[in-house]
Amino acid sequence: MPFIQTIRLSGSALASLESLSYTIAPKPGASARPIHITYTAVALKGRGYVASRNEISLPVFGLYAGYSNAVILILNYSDGSNETRLFAISTKSFADSSGILISPVILRRRSGTDDLGFDYLAMKSRLGGPIIIDTDGEIRWVSSAISSSFVSNFIDGGFVVGNESSTDITRLELDGTRTTLSSNPSTGYVNFHHNLDLGRDELLGEVNTPSDIESTIVEVNAVTGMGKAWDLAKIIADHMVINGDDATAFVRPGVDWFHSNAAAYNESDDSLIVSSRENFLIDLDYITGSIKWILGDPTKYWYRFPSLRDKALLLANTGTYPIGQHSVSVTKDGRILIFNNGNPSLNQPVGAPVGTNRSYSTVSAYTIDPINKTATLVWEFDYGKSIYSAVCGSAYEASDGSVLVDYAYADNGTHSRLVGLNSNHQVVFDFQYDTAGCNTSWNAVPIPLQDLRF
């Protein structure tokens, strides 16, 4: 791939190297902050870049393809001195076999005066490995090591990818190296689906079992494998039976009755929030798995059951309930953020209510009051009610409150729209890609290549 090239360094001074960093100069007119990567000497050795006391082979990733890249390297030594070296790295053009990634339609280009809390993002795709682009729409990294990155996330400076056909876990480093933890049949899980999310102790993965479709969440470690699990079929059925409901009318093994698509850890009360596209957001005690609250469209089938209705939060103000939602997360100020698709349930029993059907998708942020059993819609972005992604999609907040939105299934699944919002929820950029279904970018996350440290 043209996005990674190796710089070879030599000299006796390298024996006292404490850290180094490199910066890739942006193209003229670019608005994204330059890629800036820092390694400690320990990290360089741990990654195998140090050939000897006097030699280092440094992979430089994030280069522009088909371009002469100016790279500034700064070496910091243990005596407090530093050295600057300049490199010109010419790269070949990117051979995009799909023809999709190199030709986005820029509906709104980011301006150099636009404030935005992220400059790089990763698209999770079935076109191959994760795709990193900058907020100018330039491709800066693609992995050819795997055929799909649908189930993936960026953590500790690299990607962890779950296999959609097995429970293999692959770690992709930005330097191009790859490691895979093979399946462990004793777990009883069949395969990953949808997403990998950041949890309390590990990643949170969604897995299928031989008996249950898309209703199990499990802790995932890219080294040790599977850990603690939450079986939503059992958790919900037990709750319903204890409280006098017929669980078999709602929990239907072998049917996609739940359809989990995301999970998030809520540090404020040590809980796990799970997104069920078919029904609601459900909050569980992280340790016991007991249900704390449910937030969803009360016109859907689930609300007919008193045991579930008893856990329901009602909106304290006018606004939109989660409907067919994806990408649940908890923001730094404790709000529950979702991509709120607006699509009704697809797999309810014949004649059961499927809920509200909207013609547009929103990004919705809620605060939760578990004592008064209410939720408040704090803010919502609907892009003038102009875009509808019936399925897939995501919305994630950066540290400054800006948001990356992915309308993965726009225009009936023919386009993916990547939209950046500043902290006032105004559109900063808008890129459109061709897609077939959700394949191009089913979900997208900001990543910190403007200041990544190892």
319 HSE (CA, 13 A, CB side): 24
DSSP string covering 127-141: SSS-EEEETTS-EEE
Question: Strands across the sheet with 336-340, in order?
Answer: 314-315, 374-381, 362-369, 336-340, 326-330
CA distances from 276 to 100, 280, 334, 434 (A): 31, 5, 20, 27
Is the Cα torsion angle 258, 261, 266, 271 positive or negative in sign? positive
Q: Which amino acid is at 225?
A: G
| pLDDT value of position 185 | 63
Q: Hey, is 385 helix, strand or coil?
A: helix
Residue in the structure block whose two tokens are 């992995």: 143
Contact 197, 263 (CB under 8 A): yes
| pLDDT value of position 186 | 65
Give the closest residue to 375 by CA, choosing from 291, 318, 332: 318
Domains, the chain, in order of start with CATH, read 4-90 (2.60.40.3100), 105-453 (2.120.10.30)
DSSP string covering 293-328: EEES-TTBGGGGSHHHHTTBPEESSSS----S-EEE
Dist. CA 165–CA 369, nearest whole Å: 40
Going residue by residue through the chain, which has 454 residues, state the pLDDT in tens, using 9 for 90 and above: 899 999 999 999 999 999 999 999 999 999 999 999 999 999 999 999 999 989 999 999 999 999 999 999 999 999 999 999 999 999 999 999 889 999 899 999 999 888 999 999 999 999 999 999 999 999 999 998 999 999 999 999 999 999 999 999 999 999 999 999 876 666 789 999 999 999 998 999 999 999 999 999 999 988 888 899 999 999 999 999 999 999 999 999 999 999 999 999 999 999 999 999 999 999 999 999 999 999 999 999 999 999 999 999 999 998 999 999 999 999 999 999 999 999 999 999 999 999 999 999 999 999 999 999 999 999 999 999 999 999 999 999 999 999 999 999 999 999 999 999 999 999 999 999 999 999 999 999 999 999 999 9
pTM, entire model:
0.96
| pLDDT value of position 223 | 83
Phi, psi at 350, each rounded to 5°: -55, 130
Q: Which two tokens stand for residue 27?
A: 């193209």
